[in-house]
A and B are shown apart, each in its own frame.
Chain A
Amino acid sequence: MIAPAMKRGSGELAILTVLAEERLHGYEIAKRIEQQTSGVLRFNLASLYPLLYTMEKRGWVKGTWEIAASGRKRRCYRLTPAGRKYLAPLRQEWTRFFRALHRLAGVAHA
């Protein structure tokens, strides 16, 4: 299980990554992240929406009311050009972080 602080830090990366693939509404974002991380990262109302609203305020995502595949009205989020610009270095940063951890773990196990 991943510690809450790590989850918070990785939340932005997770949301931006799934929205880079396609526009999704809140529940779909949470399900997609859960599926793609095999249940390691899970979002609920209290963890997903404050983050989404903050990211929307920063201009990284944009939410608009649309009719979803289910035929119901849902607020769908898409990645903005600013969000795409922010995602690229964020991905690199996390990749570097995980590589460093991997190296550290490798040394510890040697």
Chain B
Amino acid sequence: MPDWEQQLKERLAELKLAPAVQEEVIAEFAGHLEDAHEGFLKQGIGADEAARRVRNELSDSRQLARRIQRAKQGEENMNNRTKQLWLPALVTSGLGTAFLAILEDEGIRRLVLRTPPVGPAQAYPLWLLSLPVLGFLGAYWSRRAGGAISARIIAGIFLSLIYFAVPFMILPIALVVDHRAPTIGVLGLAWLLLNWAFLPCLAQLLGALPAAIGGRDERAEDRSAA
């Protein structure tokens, strides 16, 4: 009997699934072709003709690979990225922003915490202290969802990445709207980034790293297995 598994491996070389999944698919298809071959033999068809007919199933192996790829991975990729990165990143960023608003805005603070207002000098350190917790939460959530180490870290520090990007988005807009260069200056921008991006990033990283480093990194395992 022809070695169907070997033939499938050659013809479905462009299939790019996780090694374990790919192996399973090839084993399943090889079983199918083996059964089909035996079926033809039982019908009294000669071995060569039976093998030729079975090989016909693989005539458009490119299309087969594409369809399998789509069925196995298409939705999964999308869902996994959402579960492992976007959801933890956006929820923890939302929480961080909401906490900052509660601390800074007197009205919201009174409404939510029912405590006397604090000045910006107190609000900022309090917010900074909450960031390791949020960093840990984002990274841990991503890890639980099976995220790779890179996804866990990004999920942990996503709020700081947003705050880092905001000035670079606002400055050009201000330039267009006001028709003049913003007066913030290089030092001002550096100070802004230090306080609202680098320090928060460090704080979040502090919380994210313990959660990010532990546990399995499935993507790295897939790569090393390949």
B48 at the interface (CB under 8 A from A): no
Is B31's CB under 8 angstroms from A73's CB? yes
Minimum CB–CB distance for A107 against chain B, Å: 39
Is B35's CB under 8 angstroms from A49's CB? no
Main secondary structure of the interface of B (DSSP, over half): helix
A24 to B134, CA, bound (A): 48
B76 at the interface (CB under 8 A from A): yes
B5 at the interface (CB under 8 A from A): no
B36 at the interface (CB under 8 A from A): yes
Main secondary structure of the interface of A (DSSP, over half): helix
- A residues contacting the other copy or chain, number (CB 8 A): 20
Minimum CB–CB distance for A26 against chain B, Å: 5
Minimum CB–CB distance for A103 against chain B, Å: 36
Which of chain A's residues has its CB closest to B28's CB? Answer: A75
A84 to B33, CA, bound (A): 29
Which of chain B's residues has its CB closest to A45's CB? Answer: B57
Residue from A26, A46, A74 within 8 A of B60 (CB atoms): A46
Within 8 A of B (CB), among A50-66: 50-51, 53-54, 57
Is A53's CB under 8 angstroms from B68's CB? yes
Within 8 A of B (CB), among A69-91: 70, 72-75
B52 at the interface (CB under 8 A from A): no
Residues of A within 8 A of B35 (CB): 25, 27-28, 70, 74
A-to-B contact residues, CB < 8 Å: 25-28, 30-31, 44-46, 49-51, 53-54, 57, 70, 72-75
Could you pull out 21 A-B pairs where Cβ atoms are within 8 angstroms?
A: A25-B32, A25-B35, A27-B31, A27-B35, A28-B35, A30-B32, A45-B29, A45-B32, A45-B58, A46-B63, A46-B64, A46-B67, A49-B25, A49-B28, A50-B67, A53-B72, A54-B71, A57-B76, A73-B31, A75-B27, A75-B31
